[in-house]
């Protein structure tokens, strides 16, 4: 199995310039460029995203169903408080599961980063906390 992984990685390394332009989505290209990811790190990122999305898809469907059910229950003439409460608890549990899976994926990816790359990623995360206020400052003419 290890030989197969090395062979695939070698093929990716050889084809990476073409793949970067044609096969990788823009966000992954941007992340790879900003963090200066090596080809094996890009592969780890793509695999993490694929695994995470595969795991999250059924949970997101359940979450949407629960939200729809809560909305429908609340629109009825006499909502069943116990049923609504149970749906809300289940909805919260699903949201927590989704959050935990996202955190797990982030930690998994961070393990393949160098200390410099990890520091850059943490800086970007810190900046993201401020980003929602930027449009307000721009609208007020302060930027």
Tokens of 92: 């919260």
Burial class (CB in 10 A: 0-12, 13-18, 19+), 57: exposed
Nearest to 31 by CA among 113, 101, 100, 130: 113
As a whole number, the mean pLDDT across the chain is 85
Residue 108: inside a domain, yes or no? yes
Residue 140: inside a domain, yes or no? no
Length, in residues, of the chain: 143
Map tokens 């990788």 to a residue. 24
Q: What pLDDT does 119 receive?
A: 93
pLDDT top residue among 31 and 3? 31
pTM, rounded to two decimals: 0.70
pLDDT tens-digit map of 6-58: 444 444 444 444 444 457 888 899 999 999 999 999 999 999 999 999 999 99
Residue 121: inside a domain, yes or no? no
Q: Is residue 87's pLDDT more than 50?
A: yes
Measured between alpha carbons, how far is 14 from 4 in angstroms, rounded to an integer? 15
Q: Which domain holds residue 75?
A: 2-113
Which CATH number fits the domain that encloses residue 69?
A: 1.20.120.1490
Residue 134: inside a domain, yes or no? no
How many domains does the chain contain in total? 1
Q: What pLDDT does 4 receive?
A: 42
Residue 142: inside a domain, yes or no? no
Q: What pLDDT does 5 receive?
A: 46
Cβ atoms within 10 Å of 130's Cβ, excluding its own: 9
Q: What pLDDT does 22 receive?
A: 56
């Amino acid at each position: 199995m290890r030989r197969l992984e090395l062979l695939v990685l070698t093929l990716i390394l050889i084809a990476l310039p073409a793949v970067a332009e044609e096969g990788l989505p823009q966000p992954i290209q941007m992340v790879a460029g900003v963090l200066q990811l090596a080809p094996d790190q890009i592969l780890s990122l793509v695999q993490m995203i694929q695994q995470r999305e595969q795991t999250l898809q059924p949970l997101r469907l359940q979450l949407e169903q629960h939200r729809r059910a809560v909305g429908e229950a609340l629109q009825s003439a006499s909502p069943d408080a116990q049923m609504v409460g149970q749906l809300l608890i289940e909805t919260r549990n699903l949201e927590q599961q989704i959050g935990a899976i996202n955190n797990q994926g982030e930690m998994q990816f961070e393990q393949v980063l160098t200390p410099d790359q990890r520091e850059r990623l943490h800086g970007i995360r810190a900046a993201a906390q401020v980003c929602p206020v930027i449009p307000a400052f721009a609208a007020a003419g302060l930027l």
